[in-house]
Amino acid sequence: MSERFSVLLQYLMPRRAINVLAGKMANSTHPGLSQYLIGWFLARYDVNMAEAANPDIRSYASYNAFFTRALRADARPLASSDFVCPVDGAISQLGAIASDQIFQAKGHQYSTVALVGGDAGLAAPFQDGSFATLYLSPTDYHRVHMPCDGRLLRMIYVPGDLFSVNPATARGVPGLFARNERVVCVFETAHKTPFVLVLVGASIVGSMATVWHGAVNPPRTRNIREWRYDEQQIALKKGEEMGRFLLGSTVITLFVKDALQFNPAWTATRAVRMGEAMGAQPGNRAL
């Protein structure tokens, strides 16, 4: 199937209805259905269950419980760099934010304002900053971790579409990541410098969840929802889990100008693993 046709097909499909059905199936605790789905997935994909904290596939009550399984404590050692990769996946794109424009794919870009849900004040500090877009395929570990220490300030649910976020769709759907449903998590470092992690939803992503809130969606509303944490002390350490996808998607990181230099080994399409060196503060070459 050609890329153009696969993207056209997504425009024609009842994406939201498919998403609801997939979510119900993935959350089902009916033993026959859940074990069938888990068995099908293991037969189709090369999954290393030896990395799992619990390798017994029969013990998972639902497909989603299996899909979001925890890893052994020693499965993803943290690099000593200032910033570590927050997920297992592949680099879709990374680099400098050109004024307020983020590069998506050849011929496509979108603004930081659009990505964070239209809040120009929130987007302003990331003018000429840096970004990384990290794609999680269905076979990847689907928990999201902190790239550095951070204190939570805000969380924003931005309603949107449910296109696939695979590379072919990123090349074919304009403004894809600012168009799909997403959860924007705003943190600050110990030096009061903001950074953002955006969890982007996709087709058949049943839900996105954070460790401080639980499932953010459903419910899926038509309006932007926001939670403020200024008065709370929700602080997470580098490498600590901050959220997860119930089925696969994409994470986008935003950093202010001169906050980090990316690992020179990081290039578009490169496979990455949670905990590996993502970057260092300028002047610190420890990668």
In whole angstroms, what is the distance from residue 284 CA to residue 280 CA?
6
Here the tokens at position 61 are 């009550």
User: What pLDDT is recorded for position 248?
Assistant: 61
The whole model's pTM is what?
0.89
First to last CA, the chain: 41
Q: Work out whether strand 89-96 and strand 143-145 pair parallel, antiparallel, or are unpaired.
A: unpaired
One digit per residue, the tens of pLDDT, for the chain of length 287 reads 566 656 556 555 555 666 666 667 777 888 888 899 999 989 888 889 999 999 999 999 998 899 899 999 999 999 999 999 999 999 999 999 999 999 987 778 999 999 999 999 999 999 999 999 999 988 899 999 999 999 999 999 999 887 666 677 778 777 878 888 999 999 999 899 999 999 998 766 557 899 999 989 767 778 999 999 999 999 999 999 999 987 668 999 999 999 999 999 999 999 999 999 999 998 776 66
Q: 196: which residues sit within 8 A by CB, 6+ positions away?
A: 116, 122, 126, 184, 185, 186, 187, 252, 253, 254
- What size, in residues, is the chain? 287
Q: What are the E-state strand segments in the chain?
A: 83-84, 89-96, 101-105, 108-111, 130-135, 143-145, 150-158, 182-188, 194-200, 207-210, 214-217, 225-228, 235-236, 241-246, 250-255, 261-262, 271-272, 277-280
In whole angstroms, what is the distance from residue 90 CA to residue 219 CA?
29
User: What pLDDT is recorded for position 7?
Assistant: 53
Residue 98's CB: how many other CB atoms inside 10 A? 11
Here the tokens at position 176 are 């894809």
In whole angstroms, what is the distance from residue 86 CA to residue 241 CA?
9
Q: Catalytic residue positions?
A: 88, 145, 249
User: What pLDDT is recorded for position 245?
Assistant: 84
Reduced to 3 states (helix: H, G, I; strand: E, B; else coil), residue 216 is: strand
User: What pLDDT is recorded for position 161?
Assistant: 80
Q: What does the DSSP assignment read for 11-24?
A: HHS-HHHHHHHHHH
**Distances 10 to 24, 46, 121, 183 between C-alpha atoms, Å:** 21, 27, 33, 22
Angle between helix 15-27 and 31-44 (nearest 10) = 110
Amino acid at 65: A
**Distances 74 to 77, 95, 239 between C-alpha atoms, Å:** 6, 30, 12
